[in-house]
Chain A
């Protein structure tokens, strides 16, 4: 696979806005999960809420996109000069040569949920301020980002539940390799809403207290929201020292069940092996694994089996979902940025909130931050419907 440079990247989550806040939180092994006080939700659960999402409405010319998900996207794009980096790439390549591949599972569904409470009492119609294209539709965050960034190239949303914003890296990499575009804005945005909170609750997959991935008493996930972005371009022959590269991507399907993973992690194994093959790396070349690690009994067990099968117990790993929550459609993108920071700063983040690693899982799970120069890291994202994606990032020498 042709390696790509992450020319720029940023992420905003309950750990704060932008890379500075994210890194400080990782260094401090801090969790941003708090008891849920979101909207009118009456569930005993913890969530990862991004501060200040509703502070600023979208600018007037983008008002058709108004919704929490796009406000979160806007906030995310402004951090770390990401939007500036994209405009610079558009000047270099041409606006029509930059594509947008973003993942989401929620899109602006919160606005729809709220609109259903304000239906006309006689006709049942939705209120006039309901925006189908700009808010509800699954494509809306890509349409918004493309417009806000002044881009004119291809655009698409990948919406495959929790693997969405990892798969976008793979699709964009293919499109750059094929010459469809010269650069790509990738990542994902998912925001808190009633559907995911009550939905995961109905599946009994939500923990009451902050999620404890890979813990012997783990009992579910905590839902979070995030906006994460990366700008991918072809890597020069000698990338600048310290730059972060996308080296490999592997995807597969479980073909098993809509909401439970294959118990032996068959699809997960296939995705990890495909990523290694694409990166032309051996399992022993990976220095750190960022697990999908949702904290549900079934995910963590299946993932651990798959990881042990591919890597043995040799590679240290952790899930960062105890710190950020499970940001669903944004998880792949957020955790890609965590991996980029890990490479840049030589920091393997602790599995925050986990206290006693389940010995049955047979992996080396980090309970504390560990510092070491890292060459290659792997990130897993596995979604409902058995959609699996593994990404490998590396550090330029």
Chain B
């Protein structure tokens, strides 16, 4: 989910080149999956993470409550952070308790558990601009050891001013991938991941490329484009500094 990409089917049409990309502000609906009190308390970034997570699980026909999850975000809840810092800079340092417990980087994974009842382990990662690739590596390591399925949710949202000027993420973007060790009836593709040196794939559409370069979770776009096109390919996505991760994609029949 991102600017002009309201859900996976819409994103597939755009990434496969069948529909023009028309960016518009990311729209994230309130969550129905949480009880009303919790629903009120969640900020944009938590709603984004849960929305894409639930969509991926539903499309796969999986049971969210059984899935280990890896959440990865370069910045967490920027609006919440701003509000807290503003209050602390003022005369009355009364932080709302809800704001405080929402300020943890794993807030999304906490609300995910409350919404889905998922008790398997969940992780909350940050690797700045490398957060998507870091999440992918953690997920695949888990699958190679003892997990049979891992839900990866990578998400970022923009900061309000004054943080926005020092971290100019333009809008919210989130992606969720249900990764499994074995192919199933709903599997989209087999992927193989290794570290690579090839420069990160850019996208031919200038606006999609801007999205990829400006929102860390959207560094996933070359992979998503390959999945959307349902054709075999090899993509490189940005990792740390001068490093990349290379992903070979073989669509499932």
A-side residues, CB < 8 A to B, are 105, 109, 112-113, 116-117, 119, 124-126, 130, 132-133, 137-140, 142-143, 154-161, 167, 171, 174-175, 177-178, 180, 194-195, 198-200, 202-203, 251-259, 266-267, 270, 383-387
Q: Which chain B residues lie closer than 8 Å to A203 at the CB level?
A: 97, 100-101
B145 touches A177 (CB 8 A): yes
In the assembled complex, the Cα of A195 lies from the Cα of B99 at a distance in Å of 10
Knowing A154-B134, A194-B88, the reply to whether A124 touches B106 (Cβ < 8 A) is no
9 shortest A-B CB distances, which residue pairs? Answer: A385-B110, A199-B100, A159-B105, A251-B121, A255-B113, A138-B126, A116-B89, A160-B106, A259-B101
Q: Which residue in chain B gives the minimum CB-CB distance to A128?
A: B166
Q: Which chain A residues lie closer than 8 Å to B166 at the CB level?
A: 126, 130, 132
**Per-residue 0/1 for B116-127: is the Cβ within 8 Å of any A Cβ (1 yes, 0 no)?**
111111111111
A interface, by DSSP: helix, strand, loop or mixed?
Answer: mixed
A202 touches B74 (CB 8 A): no
Contacts between chains A and B (CB distance < 8 A), count: 182
Q: Does B29 contact A (CB under 8 A)?
A: no
In the assembled complex, the Cα of A216 lies from the Cα of B85 at a distance in Å of 36
B111 touches A113 (CB 8 A): no
Q: Does B229 contact A (CB under 8 A)?
A: no
Q: Which chain B residues lie closer than 8 Å to A384 at the CB level?
A: 101, 104, 106, 110
In the assembled complex, the Cα of A254 lies from the Cα of B111 at a distance in Å of 11
B74 touches A139 (CB 8 A): yes
A178 touches B145 (CB 8 A): yes
Q: Which chain A residues lie closer than 8 Å to B106 at the CB level?
A: 159-161, 383-385, 387
Contacting A194 at CB < 8 Å: which of B93, B96, B134?
A: B93
Q: Which chain B residues lie closer than 8 Å to A200 at the CB level?
A: 100
In the assembled complex, the Cα of A117 lies from the Cα of B110 at a distance in Å of 31
B138 touches A119 (CB 8 A): no
Q: Does B16 contact A (CB under 8 A)?
A: no
In the assembled complex, the Cα of A105 lies from the Cα of B126 at a distance in Å of 11
A126 touches B163 (CB 8 A): yes
Q: Does B161 contact A (CB under 8 A)?
A: yes
Q: List 15 A-B contacts (CB under 8 A).
A: A113-B88, A119-B89, A126-B165, A133-B128, A142-B127, A156-B125, A156-B134, A157-B127, A158-B124, A180-B137, A199-B99, A251-B121, A253-B120, A384-B110, A385-B106
Q: Does B174 contact A (CB under 8 A)?
A: no
Knowing A113-B89, A386-B110, the reply to whether A154 touches B240 (Cβ < 8 A) is yes
B164 to chain A, nearest CB (A): 10
In the assembled complex, the Cα of A334 lies from the Cα of B36 at a distance in Å of 38
In the assembled complex, the Cα of A313 lies from the Cα of B104 at a distance in Å of 34
B165 touches A383 (CB 8 A): no
A198 touches B88 (CB 8 A): yes
**Per-residue 0/1 for B47-90: is the Cβ within 8 Å of any A Cβ (1 yes, 0 no)?**
00000000000000000010000000011100001001110110
B137 touches A113 (CB 8 A): no
